[in-house]
Amino acid sequence: MLQTLEHQRVDIALQIVAVQVEAYQEEARLIGFSDIPQLTESKEDIMKSKEVFIGEIIEGKLAGVLSFEKENERLTICRLVVRPQYFRKGIGSRLLTHVFQRYSKCEYIVSTAERNTPAIKLYEAHRFSIIKRTAAADNLVLVTMKRD
């Protein structure tokens, strides 16, 4: 079940942190870069965030989270994370589709590591294309993608 998350609540913020730590640990292994900023975010960071958080709940457990910021007609996806036990079950696609349906007139932007092939394939499947590459740190290139 998809729902907007009240990330200002301590219990919800803790669940978001748990999901993203699991997901970003997997990404860190995949891309060979362990300094992903979200790995060190606290519940307080989540609670004070200005992002909108949407989650998918499966059997009472938060399985995936998408957050975004919207400014005028530009919607920037800030994070899209899924617990590893739920990988390849369509959660990322459902979260993206929900945002596209709810905010249909927006330009969509997202960034991810160039070596994060599963994320890039997911975004490409939803009509995103790479528009920029940026060297973010030693051994880390980020790609910015825009939805066509």
What confidence category does residue 49 fall into, taking pLDDT thresholds of 50, 70 and 90? very high
pLDDT at 136: 85
Residue with structure tokens 């060979």? 32
pTM greater than 0.95: no
Q: How many CB atoms lie within 10 A of CB 17?
A: 20
Is 114 in contact with 142 (CB distance < 8 Å)?
A: yes
pLDDT at 12: 97
Share of the chain above pLDDT 70, in %: 100
Round to whole Å and give the CA distance between 97 and 27: 22
pLDDT at 15: 97
Q: How many CB atoms lie within 10 A of CB 120?
A: 18
Share of the chain above pLDDT 90, in %: 89
* Torsion 40-18-3-123 (CA) sign: positive
32-36, 67-71, 78-82: least confident range: 32-36
Give the mean model confidence (pLDDT) for residues 6-28: 96
Round to whole Å and give the CA distance between 86 and 75: 26
Q: Name the DSSP class of 28.
A: H
Round to whole Å and give the CA distance between 145 and 107: 11
DSSP E strands: which ranges in the chain?
Answer: 2-4, 52-58, 61-71, 74-82, 107-113, 128-137, 140-147
Backbone angles phi, psi at 43, to 5 degrees: -60, -35
pLDDT at 20: 96
Tell which residue, 107, 118, 37, 48, has the closest CA to residue 79: 37
Which residues does residue 68 pair with via DSSP β-bridges, in sequence order? 52, 77
